[in-house]
Structure 1
Amino acid sequence: MKWGKSLGREERAKIFAALAEGLDLPAVGRAFNLTREDLLHLFREVAEFYQAQEGGYWQLFCDGASRGTPGPAGAAAILQDPAGKVQGQAARYLGRATNNEAEYRAVLLGLEMAAGRGVKRLKIFTDSQLVAEQLKGGYQVKSPNLKPLWRQTLKELQKFEAYVISHLDRKLNSEADRLANRVIDQHLEKH
């Protein structure tokens, strides 16, 4: 068996089950037709995952987009591990929303993705200064449309041991921006 896509989640689980049952590494290698390099890669991958979980901060890049206020809107988020490797991305069409609503929904989308992966420490980047400052307590939330999203976001943030929210220049958030706009374009093309 070659290392890579052909070694799926179920097969990895079987390998670790065999090790838990007491098979030594050479026996597991033979049983699953794995080379020494395959085993090294597998254990390195597992070690990196757990080091990332316990060590540094994961990074979450979020962006919402709206074509009008309100108008067709989308949200996107990209999750990177502490080493900077992309571990997930998500985009969602939101229907009609303001840009600020879309920005909050992008953060919520990203928090859901990060929590689902067991992330404990998170740096959140948004190109919305309003959202960043409201979540940090620097700006009041005056809009009745934003208050429920603000409350929900604060509730979701409690799932993390530590987090930092930062405003990021739009140019540095271009990939999340591209995903948010692409999901709007895809929806508009269908309708």
Structure 2
Amino acid sequence: MLGRAFTVTRAFTLTASCTASCCTTRLFSSKKLLPQLLPQLRPIIPVSFDDFRVLPKAQRDEVIKLWQQMGGGDERDVEKWCIDVTNGMEATAKTTKTTTETIETTETTNTQQGYILRFDGGSRGNPGPAGSGYVIYDPDGSEIHAGWKFLGERTNNFAEYSGLIEGLEKAKQLGVVGTAEGDSKLVISQMTGAWKVKHPDMAVLKQKADEVRGNWDFKWIPRADNARADEVANIAMDEETDGEC
């Protein structure tokens, strides 16, 4: 457990950035709403104060209910807020020189266990236009985040490794850990140590994956069980774009 002290001001002009959607929070009609809402959010979101849209639906509904009870708007307003509480509290402390108070909070540095990361990647031509994708599920099996990336002219194996690396990086941001699953025999076998890495390009990718693997386990799954990750990887190839939801 790691204690962290925050300095919170009495006047709030908030311009904190949202990590997941790259949007910027705006000044709300009720400037007193934020400090009233923070203590009630902590039991709902005990570990991570990340983008509103990555929260499980039950938690989103609770946040919306609290927001509306305190005079806030609809779900779209909550999404614009993004609920990055930690950054928000630090940002407000920098916006004014009014009287301040220090609030001692205790946050856990332990990651949440039991999550599933599924990744995929493909190349139309091998090498050819390539894309990668990943999906993160909570212990109840609910999807909490998905992302995809267009990679340009790459091989299938490059795209598969890219999906794993991007998924592990996002999981690290969210503070979750569990089992990474994919239908690439090569990637899973190399990550578990069952196969040696011989190709120099794969060695570079394996090193990048090792740098962000943390305490994740790795498991091969049939392609049929990896349909959602395949779907988001194809979004990257079809639209030649990066994205997340």
Q: In structure 2, give the amino acid aligned to 1:94.
A: L
Are 2:245 and 1:179 aligned? no
* Aligned equivalents of 1:67, 1:132: Cα separation in 2: 22
Are 2:37 and 1:15 aligned? yes
Secondary structure of 1:109's counterpart equals helix
Are 2:143 and 1:143 aligned? no
What is the CA-CA distance between 1:54 and the residue it aligns to? 6.0
What is the CA-CA distance between 1:183 and the residue it aligns to? 1.2
Deviations 1:21-43 (A, max 9, x none): xxxxxxx9997159xxxxxxxxx
What is the CA-CA distance between 1:96 and the residue it aligns to? 1.0
TM-score of the superposition, structure 2-length normalised? 0.55
The equivalent of 1:97 in structure 2 is: 154
Q: In structure 2, give the amino acid aligned to 1:163.
A: W
* Aligned equivalents of 1:179, 1:29: Cα separation in 2: 32
The equivalent of 1:169 in structure 2 is: 222
* Aligned equivalents of 2:34, 2:154: Cα separation in 1: 42
Q: 141, 165, 188: which is aligned to 1:132?
A: 188
Secondary structure of 2:194's counterpart equals coil
What is the CA-CA distance between 1:182 and the residue it aligns to? 2.0
Cα 1:29/1:64, change in 2 over 3 Å: closer
Q: In structure 1, give the amino acid aligned to 2:234.
A: N
* Aligned equivalents of 1:60, 1:156: Cα separation in 2: 13
What is the CA-CA distance between 1:89 and the residue it aligns to? 0.3
Q: In structure 2, give the amino acid aligned to 1:143.
A: H
Q: Runs of at least 4 residues of structure 1 off by over 3 A?
A: 10-14, 17-20, 28-31, 53-56
Secondary structure of 1:90's counterpart equals strand
Cα 1:81/1:19, change in 2 over 3 Å: closer
Deviations 1:63-92 (A, max 9, x none): 011112211100000001111111100000
The equivalent of 1:32 in structure 2 is: 70
* Aligned equivalents of 2:166, 2:70: Cα separation in 1: 38
Secondary structure of 2:145's counterpart equals strand
Q: In structure 2, give the amino acid aligned to 1:32.
A: M
* Aligned equivalents of 2:67, 2:124: Cα separation in 1: 55
Are 2:115 and 1:62 aligned? no
**Structure 1 gap segments, 5+ residues each:** 1-7, 21-27, 35-49
Q: Considering fraction of residues, name the structure with more helix.
A: 1
Q: 55, 79, 83: which is aligned to 2:136?
A: 79
Cα 1:135/1:69, change in 2 over 3 Å: same
Equivalent residues, number: 152
Q: In structure 2, give the amino acid aligned to 1:76.
A: G
The equivalent of 1:156 in structure 2 is: 212
* Aligned equivalents of 2:132, 2:224: Cα separation in 1: 17
Cα 1:29/1:182, change in 2 over 3 Å: closer
What is the CA-CA distance between 1:167 and the residue it aligns to? 0.6
Aligned-residue CA RMSD in angstroms? Answer: 3.0
Cα 1:15/1:97, change in 2 over 3 Å: same
* Aligned equivalents of 1:76, 1:31: Cα separation in 2: 38
Question: Could you tell me the percent identity over the aligned residues?
Answer: 30
Secondary structure of 1:88's counterpart equals strand
* Aligned equivalents of 2:180, 2:134: Cα separation in 1: 10
Q: 117, 120, 128: which is aligned to 2:174?
A: 117
